[in-house]
A and B are shown apart, each in its own frame.
Chain A
Amino acid sequence: MSEELARFVASLAIPEDRKAVVLAELSDHIACARDAAAREGRDPDAAARAALGDLGALRRSLEAVEPAFRVSRWTALARGAVASLLIAILIDRLGFWWLGSVAVLGSLAIAAAFALPRMRELLRAELRVKRVPIGPALTYLFTVMSGPFVVWIAMIVERGLVQGVTRVHTPWTAFAVMWACWLLLIVESIRVRLLRVA
């Protein structure tokens, strides 16, 4: 039984350090079920097998939750910084193309591509719990909202000092990601609040 459990946990698509946690936890669970069955005069092996339940369902739910443990605030900050850099370059080069549609779609796609796994669930969780320090989801959102502006300021300074360019054209598309992030924050905050008071 323990070998079967070890094989099952090893086959899960979750971070390696979480596999150790899951294996220890499920092993303890099975051992407890076995002990309880022995005390109550039931078959311990059958109880241990029954304690694990549907392995397919367990796999699906663990693989949905565990990857989020890989995400720290520093990871979120790094992902946000890379996304910000790409967004800043994209808007700088293509900000006015096709009435800005290329820049808007491109920048939103970049922000979505670099977003954390289970981003909305994480964000809801962070908004739900009061007085908890800013978590990975909010870290990512604030980084991706403000990061491009930092890059553009650096570009403006560099062009002014090195190339002598003193005129700045700001495309409206520069604010697309910021508006999208605020919209997401407002919608999720209202949703969390409504669920709390419903």
Chain B
Amino acid sequence: MPPRDVVPRGALRALVLAALADGDLHGYALARKLEERARGTLKIREGSLYPALHELELEGAIEAAWTRAPDGRRRRVYSLTRAGRRVAKTERAEWLAVADMLRALLGAG
């Protein structure tokens, strides 16, 4: 089965927050980390990743800092804020509950 490039509405922000909970990342590294975690079942679309990151930044859940890549180009690295850690926890619990519910409902059929 080819990797999915669409995740349920709102799930991408939970995935981003969960990935950033492990450490600060720039956009490309974040996308690859999520794809690695998904073991080939997910392809992150840049068209949704950066807007999602910017939306979380607007909400105050994450913050961005400018750094330099090894070759000197400018790079934005994202990290969770204190408020973002709480949001990450909440969203993780919510999506795991949804996943459990769907597994129970669909698996029961």
Please give the residue numbers on chain A whose beta carbons come within 8 Å of chain B beta carbons, in ascending order: 21-22, 24-29, 31-33, 36, 51-54, 57-58, 60-62, 64-66, 68-69, 121-122, 125-126, 128-132, 135, 195-196, 198
Contact = CB atoms under 8 A, between A and B. Distances in A.
Contact of B59 (A22, A28, A125): A125
Nearest to B50: A25
B83 A129 contact: yes
Contact of A62 (B26, B27, B50, B76): B50
B50 A198 contact: no
Name the interface size band of chain B: 20 to 34
Given A31-B73, A129-B83, A122 B58 contact: yes
Contacts of B55: 65, 121, 125
Contacts of A36: 32
Main secondary structure of the interface of B (DSSP, over half): helix
Interface string B45-60: 1111011001100111
Main secondary structure of the interface of A (DSSP, over half): helix
B27 A29 contact: yes
Contact of B51 (A33, A53, A65): A65
A16 to B, nearest CB: 16
Given A129-B60, A130-B83, A198-B94, A26 B47 contact: no
Contacts of B26: 28, 32
A128 B59 contact: yes
Interface in B21-50: 26-29, 32, 45-48, 50
B46 A52 contact: yes
Interface of B: 26-29, 32, 45-48, 50-51, 54-55, 58-61, 69, 71, 73-76, 83-84, 86-87, 90, 94, 97
Nearest to A129: B83
Contact of A132 (B71, B83, B90): B83
A28 B74 contact: yes
A129 B83 CA distance: 6
Smallest CB-CB A-B distances: 7 pairs: A32-B28, A57-B47, A61-B51, A125-B59, A58-B47, A65-B51, A24-B74
B73 A28 contact: yes
12 contacts: A28-B26, A28-B76, A29-B46, A36-B32, A54-B45, A61-B48, A64-B51, A121-B55, A122-B58, A126-B59, A129-B60, A129-B83
